[in-house]
Amino acid sequence: MKTPRTSPAPLVPRAATALLQPPHCTPRPDSPKKRWPGARSARRPWAALRVGRSGAMADAGGWLKKMQSSLKLVDCIVEVHDARIPLSGRNPLFRETLGIKPHLLVLNKMDLADLSQRQKILQHLEREGLKNVIFTNCVKDENVKQVIPAVTELVRSSCRYHRGENVEHCIMVIGVPNVGKSSLINSLRRQHLRKGKATRVGGEPGITRAVMSRVQVSERPLVFLLDTPGVLPPRIESVETGLKLALCGTVLDHLVGAESLADYLLYTLNRQRLFGYVQHYGLDGACDDVVTVLKRVAVRLGKAQKVKVLTGTGNVTVVQPDYSAAAHDFLRTFRRGLLGPVMLDRDGLQSPLDS
């Protein structure tokens, strides 16, 4: 009698791998590679990402020029990024275009990230020249009070040039889409002014669409912020980085495909031995087949769709699980943190540089 498996064997994403590989390639379930098998494929299902079309930034270069033109009004740059991908997905053009100002990196959504290796994250970022880093959760205002003192100290220790006579400080908030820039501004206003929202927020990219006028976030010291649209880099550095950005909601799901994203998410959870989805959806155990998982999710949610099938006697309508609806629910559940905290850049933290 065979002993049932307690954990999945080789965890290779199927649908996403098949999509990213040329048609003549068949994914090997026993592949010894640690990296996701589709990572080096030439076929990219999100070709639109290369020109930065994700809702808010059809012209990334244009937004950067507008930001650069506002630099004379700015004392400090606050870059907001998702704490689940602290080492990847940031726009390198920010440093090239706006790097003359003091820079603070805010890693938001810390409640959704596995920060057990926080020190390694800080060490990696410091090697990249980022010494000022704060982890926050703007929904619950965690660590948000550290931002204004950090900015004040950065401005005090830097040259303000023609702004030396100004009493107030002005900060520009930048970052890729949907990482919580507007949420940070609203959280700062709640903490320091006891006031409500100044900017709209949302769960998908493309909410902020213009470089706004100044928004006050603090009285003592007097601090104003400029909110900006999310801007992706003109080219995504790798397929896997693009998938990480998509999992975090930085790009719209339809640019990659919800089922492909669900496949990569399942692969990531299994590889890190995070089996919270098993309990959440009432599965029998961990599984490395995305089709099987999405079928069970669809049945559990009562999601089905009617499909016409052509047979020898004519069209027949059959009912089958709605895999698309199941994939979207799987992604929403992950993004809400219901599957547990995750560090999508875990491989980067285990690089040879750490040894």
Torsion angle of C-alpha atoms 20, 26, 29, 32, degrees rounded to 10: -80
Q: Which of 184, 210, 159 is nearest to 56 (CA)?
A: 210
* DSSP type of residue 311: E
In a domain, residue 155? The reply is yes
In a domain, residue 355? The reply is no
Residues 216 and 115 in one domain: yes
How would you classify residue 330: left for phi > 0, otherwise alpha for psi between -120 and 50, otherwise beta? alpha
Res 69 pLDDT > 50: yes
The whole-angstrom separation of Cα 303 and Cα 295 is 9
Residues 332 and 192 in one domain: no
Residues 302 and 242 in one domain: yes
In this prediction, residues 80-88 reach a mean pLDDT of: 96
Residues 76 and 112 in one domain: yes
Are the CB atoms for 344 and 244 separated by under 8 Å?
yes
Res 159 pLDDT > 80: no
Mean of all residue pLDDT scores within the chain: 79
Residues 195 and 256 in one domain: no
Number of domains making up the chain: 2
| b/e map 241-256, b = 16+ CB within 10 Å | bbbbbbbbbbbbbebb
pLDDT given for residue 70 in this prediction: 82
In a domain, residue 10? The reply is no
Are the CB atoms for 41 and 13 separated by under 8 Å?
no
Q: Which of 351, 178, 350, 179 is nearest to 272 (CA)?
A: 350
The CATH number given to whatever domain includes residue 187 is 3.40.50.300
Residue at which a domain ends, from 173, 202, 227: 227
The whole-angstrom separation of Cα 70 and Cα 64 is 10
Are the CB atoms for 174 and 146 separated by under 8 Å?
no
In a domain, residue 178? The reply is yes
User: Model's pTM, two decimal places?
Assistant: 0.78
In a domain, residue 43? The reply is no
Are the CB atoms for 166 and 221 separated by under 8 Å?
no
Are the CB atoms for 83 and 113 separated by under 8 Å?
yes
pLDDT given for residue 50 in this prediction: 42
* Domain span including residue 154: 55-227
* DSSP type of residue 135: E
- Alpha helix locations (H) across the chain? 15-20, 60-69, 92-98, 118-127, 147-156, 181-192, 239-247, 258-271, 276-281, 290-301, 323-335, 346-349
The CATH number given to whatever domain includes residue 321 is 1.10.1580.10
Residues 98 and 177 in one domain: yes
Residues 221 and 263 in one domain: no
Are the CB atoms for 343 and 278 separated by under 8 Å?
no
Residues 157 and 105 in one domain: yes
What would the two tokens of residue 195 be?
């006031």
pLDDT given for residue 246 in this prediction: 94
| Three-state secondary structure call for residue 95 | helix
Q: How far apart are the first and last CA of the chain?
A: 43
Question: What does the pLDDT look like over 266-315, one tens digit per residue?
Answer: 999 999 999 999 999 999 999 999 999 999 999 999 998 887 888 777 78
Residues 290 and 312 in one domain: yes
Are the CB atoms for 300 and 319 separated by under 8 Å?
no
Residues 62 and 183 in one domain: yes
The whole-angstrom separation of Cα 211 and Cα 229 is 7
* DSSP type of residue 248: T
Residues 82 and 221 in one domain: yes
Residue at which a domain ends, from 210, 227, 244: 227
Q: Which of 309, 346, 267 is nearest to 85 (CA)?
A: 346
Measured CA to CA in angstroms, residue 255 lies from 46, 128, 132, 242 at distances of: 5, 30, 33, 10
The whole-angstrom separation of Cα 118 and Cα 109 is 14
Pairing of strands 304-311, 103-108: unpaired
Residues 131 and 266 in one domain: no
Question: What does the pLDDT look like over 3-57, one tens digit per residue?
Answer: 444 444 444 454 344 333 333 333 333 433 344 433 333 233 434 444 334 434 4
pLDDT given for residue 167 in this prediction: 81
What would the two tokens of residue 330 be?
């799987």
Are the CB atoms for 211 and 57 separated by under 8 Å?
no
The total of other beta-carbon atoms located within 10 Å of residue 309's CB is 10
For residue 166, name the pLDDT band (cuts at 50, 70, 90).
confident
Question: What does the pLDDT look like over 213-224, one tens digit per residue?
Answer: 688 999 988 999
Outline where DSSP puts E strands in 34-187: 76-82, 103-108, 133-135, 169-174
